[in-house]
Amino acid sequence: MKPQCPKCGTDFVQRIRPDGILEPLAGLLFIHPFRCQLCTHRFRAFLPGVAALSQKVDRRQYVRFSARFPVTFSGDSGPGQGAVMDVTMGGCALESDATLMPSMVLKLKLHIAEHALPVEVEAAVVRSVRSKIVGLEFARFALQEKYRLTQYVAGLVSAHRKE
C-alpha cells in the first residue's frame, strides 16, 4: 500500500531517503518522506510497520520510464540534438554526440509527439556524462510546460501499469 500525494492525489509516489537529523528519527515512528512522481511534491506520510519494511528506499527520487523521442537543445556550447532514453519529472537521460560537461545549463525542447509543440524546459542542468549518455536534471520550466510533461509521464505510468 502506498500513500497518495496530498497535492495532486496520485498514488504514483516513491519513498525517498530521509533528509537531515529529524527525518531518520521520524522513520522509527513509521513517518517516511515521499516524492510525488507527477507533481514533484515532497511530503511525509505515516506508513506503519510491515509495509514500510517491504518497500525499499531508492537512492533516486524518481522512477525512470524508458521513452524514446528527439530532443533539441541550446546552451553555452551552442545548439545540439539527441534522443531521450528515459524520462521522469525530475530529469532525463539523453543520448547525444554533443560535447557536454557536468554543470552546464541547457534549454531543452522535448519533442514528445510528432504533431504537438515540443515541451520546453527553460533550464536543465547536466549532472553526468558517460560516453554519449548525458544525465540531465530539470531545474526550471514554465507552469504550462511542466503540466504538459506531467500529462506525458502520467501516460507512461498508465501504459506501464497495464503491462
Residues that bind Zn ion (CB under 5 A): 5, 7-8, 36, 39, 41
Task: Tell me how far, at minimum, the Cβ of 157 lies from Zn ion, in Å.
Answer: 12
- Least separation in angstroms between residue 94's CB and Zn ion is 25
Closer Cβ to Zn ion, 121 or 153, answer by number = 153
CB of 68 to Zn ion, least distance (A): 26
- State which residue, 36 or 63, has the beta carbon closest to Zn ion: 36
Nearer to Zn ion, 39 or 105 (CB): 39
Distance CA 48, CA 153 (A): 29
Nearer to Zn ion by C-beta: 41 or 107?
41
Give 15-19 contacts, CB < 8 A, sequence gap 24+: 15/47, 15/55, 15/56, 15/57, 15/58, 16/42, 16/57, 16/58, 16/61, 17/57, 17/59
Tell the smallest beta-carbon distance from residue 151 to Zn ion (Å): 13
CB burial of 30-43 (b: ≥16 within 10 Å; e: otherwise) equals ebbbbbbbbbbeee
